[in-house]
């Protein structure tokens, strides 16, 4: 994975004026070569500096979110698979808040599109989904682009403390109620 990122960085440095467009497009294809969003945001900070890195990463992730919104309805198998993973990790009746999704995006090993499906469940219309995408992607992009250089120097104990802090923040920001349909609550168990 690091080799792919180094090749991408070297290639973009040599492209000159096309580098921002290629970087934004790279956000769309990075999922197919299994490079985490955090790594690409850090690379944006290294390549373009903090301000332009944040701008280009936000544009790339918003394009990716819009692409996800329009494509997930046409891929029922992928939608069902993501929903099964969501039910397994968070429970059938858990509806995450936008704040929780933003916190989980900060944890590098969470699946980006799983969090998109949770956001889609919370805000099903396109306008609401894109507003939620802006709110949830901004902390991710800001944190990893600006502090990317420092993150690489963290000791494992500091990294563990940060992840535990994010988990506590995730728990505090949860929705305090769960709505269960009458039919689901009194469903007969098929044994």
What pLDDT, on a 0 to 100 scale, did the predictor assign at position 13? 66
- Give yes or no for a contact between 136 and 115, defined as CB atoms under 8 angstroms apart: yes
In sequence order, what DSSP letters do the residues of the chain get, joined into one string?
Answer: -HHHHHHHHHHHHHHGGGHHHHHHHHHHHGGGGT--HHHHHHHHHHHH-HHHHHHHHHHHHHHHHHHHHHHHTT-HHHHHHHHHHHHHHH-TT----HHHHHHHHHSTTS-HHHHHHHHHHH--SHHHHHHHHHHHHHHHHHHHHHSHHHHTT--HHHHHHHHHHHHHHHHHTS-S-----HHHHTPPP--
pLDDT of the residue at 190:
53
Which pLDDT belongs to residue 189?
Answer: 56
Can you give the pLDDT at residue 129? 93
Q: pLDDT value at position 191?
A: 47
Please give the average pLDDT of every successive group of 10 residues along the chain, which has 191 residues.
Answer: 66 74 88 84 83 92 93 90 88 83 85 89 92 93 80 76 80 69 66 47
Q: What is the value of pTM for the model shown?
A: 0.75
The pLDDT score that the predictor gives to residue 46 is 79
What integer pLDDT is reported at residue 188 of this predicted model?
A: 62
Which sequence spans correspond to the domains of the chain?
2-185
The two structure tokens encoding residue 55:
């701008």
What pLDDT score was predicted for residue 34? 80
What integer pLDDT is reported at residue 9 of this predicted model? 65
């Amino acid at each position: 994975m690091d080799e792919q990122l180094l090749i991408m960085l070297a290639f973009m440095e040599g492209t000159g004026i096309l580098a921002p467009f290629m970087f934004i497009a790279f956000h769309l294809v990075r999922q197919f070569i299994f490079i985490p969003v955090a790594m690409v945001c850090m690379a944006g900070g290294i390549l373009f500096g903090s301000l332009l890195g944040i701008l280009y990463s936000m544009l790339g992730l918003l394009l990716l979110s819009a692409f996800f919104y329009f494509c997930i309805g046409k891929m029922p198998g992928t939608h069902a698979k993501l929903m099964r993973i969501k039910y397994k990790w968070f429970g059938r009746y858990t509806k995450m808040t936008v704040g929780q999704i933003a916190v989980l995006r900060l944890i590098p090993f969470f699946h980006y599109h799983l969090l998109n499906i949770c956001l889609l469940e919370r805000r099903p219309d396109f306008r609401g989904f894109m507003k939620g995408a802006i709110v949830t992607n901004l902390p991710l992009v800001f944190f990893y682009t600006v502090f990317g250089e420092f993150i690489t120097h963290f000791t494992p104990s500091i990294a563990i403390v940060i992840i535990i802090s994010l988990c506590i923040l995730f728990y505090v920001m949860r929705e305090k109620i769960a709505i269960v349909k009458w039919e689901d609550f009194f469903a007969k168990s098929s044994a």
